[in-house]
Structure 1
Amino acid sequence: MRLQIRVPASSANLGSGFDCIGIALDWWNTIQVETIARGLEIECPHGLPRNKDNAVYQGMSEVYARAKQKMPPVRLQMDAVIPIASGLGSSSAALVGGMLAANALMGNPFSRDNLVTFATLLEGHPDNVAPALLGSLVVAVQEGEFVQAARVLLPRHLRTVVFVPTQALLTKVSRGVLPSRVPRADAIYNMGRTALWIAALYEHRLDWLDQATRDRLHQPYRAKLVRGMDELFDSARNAGAKGVALSGAGPSIIAFAQGNATKVAREMERTAKRIGVEGTTKMVAPTPHGALVERIG
């Protein structure tokens, strides 16, 4: 059997929603999985593992283990366009793609909600894997092995502008600068703004995103790792962005726009050039679709 799986990029945190909010973006990796006679064959971009450390393989292995079935020999082919180590869910996309492939090969014994739980326990947090599986914007909570993910519909006219620096930033490095304790006032600051994110979507008040994307729990600490972050935030806001945030652990920056995405992108590019930060800008819509699976051949 041969399958093709398409998995969207995702942007997590979105400012205030640290480790609990993420959005799926219309920017897709493609994975082909084929059962073969023996062994393991992996074709993937340079720099990604071509052995059992590959995240697609690990996702497949986990689902087969959950089903108490032996994993068959497979050939994996990865067309990875989501930038790696950029805060856009590339590792989650690979993990999710592998899980969906394994589930489909076994006849789909597990629901998407089951897979969200499995992926969260492997990844450590749900804010990328949940939108990659479910699409749209997802609010997810975790306590031990309990994971609950709620999908929230997005306005059709919402667009994002993503600035992707050439600098790579590993999640473990970006997490390493975060404090183990935070002031109560900072926790309250973020709690209110996380709730405001959801209210803004339900009330169609995108102007509320300026406050909803502000944060005191992670972005101020990560700013020292992301050159030009504050200047790029300011340029997006000054160009009329509804809100702007670090994408995941960074270094990518995501701005939210309504009808003026081109202007926001242009101003972010100008600012990056002025301060000497190399990178590319991509205008991309959120997607209501989670990862897609089809049988081919």
Structure 2
Amino acid sequence: MKIRVPASSANLGSGFDALGLALALYDEVEVEPAGSGLTVSVTGEGADSVATDASHLVVRALRAGAERLGLELPGIVLRCANAVPHARGLGSSAAAIVAGVAAAYGLAGRDLDADALQLAAEFEGHADNVAASLLGGLVLAWREGSRYRAMRFEPHPDLRPVALVPAGRSATAETRGLLPDRVPHADAAFAAARCALAVAAITAEPDLLLAATEDRLHQDYRESAWPATMRVVRALRESGVAATVSGAGPTVLALTTDGKLPDVDLTGFTARELAVARTGVTVTGGHHKGQR
């Protein structure tokens, strides 16, 4: 069975822990049931650093999915070809989780459903990245009690994201620790309006992207974790480009309609134009053929 899962960028400036956008950069995973044991091989991103035992994130998500679905899986052969950079704010962990959950569903002969999102979000701790990798396009994610929910929207056809990827890494847990427990009421109201505006801008009115992606909830608070990232974000925004910190950083995501960036100092960053992934994870082979 083969699983292909896209990268994602969360928050998109104003939509902290709520908005996610799937990007056409893909991890590919091959899964084969075995009579016993576990074999994991990794090529591409993270090949020299990720675990190749039972602690591998795809394996953990796959086994959790199999248990949830009542699927017996005595042994696994797993081959991962990774293209999504690790710890850069492009949803590499979410992609791994979604790949594992999708593999479990495929091996069980089941179509992905709302419980797949629930399982993936429980692993990740929030639903924005995993929902984007599951559904493709733009997603709005939220919680109702203990249940994670998400709605997919079709991004505007002119949207051409550009990721500016640095060599340095970041960790979500570390950057979350920099956020305050409380924010001013005015900032919360500002964020609510701009998050709603972002859905409209990304799907229907790209001319509003700069205003729609303005943030008061998280980026400035975490500047000490990635000062170079915020330097680039501010330089691009001052030039009229809707630039945001991608997820937990340190990648910068520029939402453009032409794929072009102004002449600003991008030292230390590599620009990659990435199309929107309009389809989420796909599963082929095995008991299941289809996509979400």
**Match of residue 19 from structure 2:** 21
**Match of residue 219 from structure 1:** 219
Q: Does residue 102 of structure 1 match 2:92?
A: no
**Match of residue 193 from structure 1:** 194
The secondary structure found in structure 2 opposite 1:228 is: helix
**Match of residue 229 from structure 2:** 229
In the TM superposition, what is the alpha-carbon distance from 1:12 to its structure 2 partner? Answer: 0.2
The secondary structure found in structure 1 opposite 2:3 is: strand
- Which of the residues 271, 277, 280 maps onto 1:287? 277
Structure 2: tracts of 5 or more residues without a match: 287-292
The secondary structure found in structure 2 opposite 1:280 is: strand
In the TM superposition, what is the alpha-carbon distance from 1:220 to its structure 2 partner? Answer: 0.7
In the TM superposition, what is the alpha-carbon distance from 1:235 to its structure 2 partner? Answer: 3.1
Q: Does residue 145 of structure 1 match 2:142?
A: no
Question: What is the identity percentage for the equivalent residue pairs of Structure 1 and Structure 2?
Answer: 37
Map 1:243-262; keep pairs closer than 5 Å. Answer: 243-259=242-258, 261-262=259-260
1:194-231 alpha-carbon deviations (Å, 9 max, x no partner): 000112245x2112111111111110111111122333
Is the Cα–Cα contact under 8 Å of residues 57 and 93 in structure 2 kept in the other structure?
Answer: yes
The secondary structure found in structure 1 opposite 2:128 is: coil
Q: Distance in 1 between matches of 2:218 and 2:73?
A: 39
Q: Does residue 79 of structure 1 match 2:81?
A: yes
1:214-265 alpha-carbon deviations (Å, 9 max, x no partner): 1111101111111223331233235542x11100010001001112x23x1x
Q: Does residue 272 of structure 1 match 2:266?
A: yes
Structure 1: tracts of 5 or more residues without a match: none
Q: Distance in 2 between matches of 1:30 and 1:23?
A: 19
What letter matches 2:216 in structure 1? R
Q: Distance in 2 between matches of 1:91 and 1:66?
A: 20
What letter matches 2:41 in structure 1? E
Is the Cα–Cα contact under 8 Å of residues 240 and 257 in structure 1 kept in the other structure?
Answer: no
Is the Cα–Cα contact under 8 Å of residues 17 and 194 in structure 1 kept in the other structure?
Answer: yes
- Which of the residues 10, 19, 23 maps onto 1:12? 10
Is the Cα–Cα contact under 8 Å of residues 30 and 79 in structure 2 kept in the other structure?
Answer: yes
The TM-score, its normalising length taken from structure 1, stands at: 0.91
In the TM superposition, what is the alpha-carbon distance from 1:113 to its structure 2 partner? Answer: 2.1
Q: Distance in 2 between matches of 1:237 and 1:97?
A: 34
In the TM superposition, what is the alpha-carbon distance from 1:121 to its structure 2 partner? Answer: 1.3
Q: Does residue 53 of structure 1 match 2:55?
A: yes
RMSD: 1.5
1:147-173 alpha-carbon deviations (Å, 9 max, x no partner): 221100111111011111111011111
The TM-score, its normalising length taken from structure 2, stands at: 0.92
Q: Structure 2 vs 1, CA of residues 83 and 175 (structure 1 numbering), >3 Å: closer, same or farther?
A: same
Is the Cα–Cα contact under 8 Å of residues 161 and 255 in structure 2 kept in the other structure?
Answer: yes
Map 1:163-178; keep pairs closer than 5 Å. Answer: 163-178=164-179
Is the Cα–Cα contact under 8 Å of residues 230 and 245 in structure 2 kept in the other structure?
Answer: no
In the TM superposition, what is the alpha-carbon distance from 1:106 to its structure 2 partner? Answer: 0.8
Is the Cα–Cα contact under 8 Å of residues 127 and 149 in structure 2 kept in the other structure?
Answer: no
Is the Cα–Cα contact under 8 Å of residues 157 and 258 in structure 1 kept in the other structure?
Answer: yes
